[in-house]
Amino acid sequence: MATRDDSTDTWTDTWTRFLDDATPLPADPAAPVVRRSTPVVGDRAVRDDELPRLVGYAGDLRVVLTGGAGQVAGPAAYCRRHGLELSALDVTLRDLDDPAGNARRVVAAVDAAVAGGDLLEDTVVHVRVATLGDPTPSWLAAADVLAEAEMVLALPLGLPPGGDLDAWVDAALDRELAMSLVGGTPAQAVAALATAARLWGDPGDLARGRRWVRSWLTPEVEAALDHLAGLTP
- pLDDT band at 2; cut points 50, 70, 90: very low
pLDDT on residue 185: 94
Q: Phi, psi (5° rounding) for residue 156?
A: -75, 140
- pLDDT band at 163; cut points 50, 70, 90: low
pTM of the model: 0.93
Whether residue 103 contacts residue 66, with contact meaning beta carbons closer than 8 Å, is answered with: no
- pLDDT band at 183; cut points 50, 70, 90: very high
- pLDDT band at 89; cut points 50, 70, 90: very high
Per-residue pLDDT tens digits for 146-158: 999 999 999 999 7
Counting beta carbons within 10 angstroms of the beta carbon of residue 23, is it exposed (0 to 12), middle (13 to 18) or buried (19 or more)? middle
Q: For 137-158, give the secondary structure using H, E and C.
A: HHHHHHHHHHHHCCCEEEEECC
